[in-house]
Chain A
Amino acid sequence: MPSGKESGAPNDPAIAVRNLRVQYGQREILHGINFEAQAGETLVILGGSGSGKSTLLRTLVGLEKPSGGELWIRGKNFASMPENERKDLRKKMGMSFQGGALFGSMTVGENVALPLREHTPLDESTIEIVMRLKLDQVGLSGFEDYMPAQLSGGMKKRAAIARALAMDPEILFFDEPSAGLDPIIAAGIDELILKLKKAFRITILVVTHELASAFLIADRMILLDKGHIVANETPESIQKSREPRVRQFLDRIPEPEVAGEIDYLQMLTGESPPLRR
């Protein structure tokens, strides 16, 4: 559905991140990052392993608590709001997890219907119709009685996307949507994301390290490197970037294995400088 319901002021960004910090124990993963995603925009967060992109996604959907900074969703301060308000706001957010995260003991239809059964007062007949509408939107009409184990990797992803769409979210998050899929199936998922973007004008935030996919679906791209944003630009502009870390990522230049003998010795002997920057 087009996301016609407005929960904040019309001009509020869908997501606003201000000086966001996240740390695990003593180790800081995100070092005070800032960005916004406008309503209806598709924002792709790129970054290599350890860049902090998955931590960022988990923080945006409320699975990690920031150690500092602010996170605004549709004009409301997500981090500091009471739990009941946060719960309501979460219902406007859909999440498609990396592995699909379908419940193996439930049929595809039951998986898609689950958020509606858990969080809405809808009658069973209404839920069944919504479930079939969502499966149709992801190209899985007629698969409601299949078990997840009977689906291919790409179909599992589609089913997970149908479940993420069940509550008509205003913001849809994707964690590595093409991971583990062959290029043709991955291209099909990209096409589906493009279709959802065009048809429903949902704000979409995708975390990925797949460059081809990112350039295809993004309105804007953010490149994360070791917990810092090193680029926040349109695909056209990032393509022309001369920033060394951006070029290294786009041109797939590997990191040197070790910085030097002294650093290597310090690492082996446990005298390395702390990872926190």
Chain B
Amino acid sequence: MQITTRQFESATIVDVVGDITLYNTPEVRKMLLNLLKEKRVKRVIVNLEKVKYIDSAGVASLVEGLKVSREMKSGFALFGLSRMTREVLELTRLLKVFEVYETEAEALLGGSSPTGA
């Protein structure tokens, strides 16, 4: 799995490539918490277009990211969910908890057409 960030105006986009599993999710968690707690970015958008599969531990890192974003009063959104990632979030009853968008453009607009609800 690879994880990189890029900036678009006030949003920080986190691009994840590869499956997120219990063996590499600490890296995802570290990145998200660093952006939110240390760099205090205004809005984190996680790009999951190239993530085919995410396990429970991967979901837990996203949950922790969301929790910390609320504490820091930052935005936190996901986009580009594969069928399986969407299914995992549905099964864990989290699809409606996260701000979920189909595309990066929609996520950057922030709330114009969320598809998770």
- The answer to whether B26 touches A126, judged by C-beta atoms less than 8 angstroms apart, is yes
Contact A129 B91 (CB under 8 A): no
Is the beta-carbon distance between A133 and B21 smaller than 8 angstroms?
Answer: no
Which B residues lie within 8 Å of A126 (CB)? Answer: 25-26, 29, 57, 60-61, 64
**CB-based nearest B residue for A5:** B53
A114 close to chain B: CB less than 8 A: no
B108 on the interface (CB 8 Å rule)? no
- B23, B26, B63, B88: the one contacting A1 at CB < 8 Å is B88
Q: Given A120-B22, A133-B92, verify A4-B64 contact (CB < 8 Å).
A: no
Q: Is the interface of B mostly helix, strand, loop or mixed?
A: helix
Interface size on B, residues (CB 8 A): 24
Residues 1 to 40 of chain A near chain B (Cβ within 8 Å): 1-2, 4-5
Q: Which residues of B contact A123 (CB under 8 A)?
A: 26, 29
Q: Is B49 an interface residue when CB atoms closer than 8 A count as contact? A: no
Minimum CB–CB distance for A124 against chain B, Å: 11
**Closest chain B residue to A128 by CB distance?**
B60
Interface residues of B in 61-109 (CB under 8 A from A): 61, 63-64, 84, 87-88, 91-93
Q: Given A116-B22, A122-B22, are A133 and B56 neighbors across the interface (CB < 8 Å)?
A: yes
Q: Is A167 an interface residue (CB 8 A)?
A: yes
Instruction: Find chain A residues with CB under 8 A from B13 CB.
Output: none
* Interface: B15 (CB within 8 A): no
Tell whether B52 is near chain A: CB-to-CB under 8 Å. yes
Chain A interface (Cβ < 8 Å from any Cβ of B): 1-2, 4-5, 116, 120-123, 125-127, 129-130, 133-134, 136-137, 166-168, 199-200
Can you name 18 extra interface pairs (CB under 8 A) apart from A130-B22, A133-B60? A1-B55, A1-B59, A2-B84, A2-B87, A120-B22, A120-B57, A121-B23, A122-B25, A122-B60, A123-B29, A126-B29, A126-B60, A126-B64, A130-B56, A133-B56, A136-B93, A168-B56, A199-B91
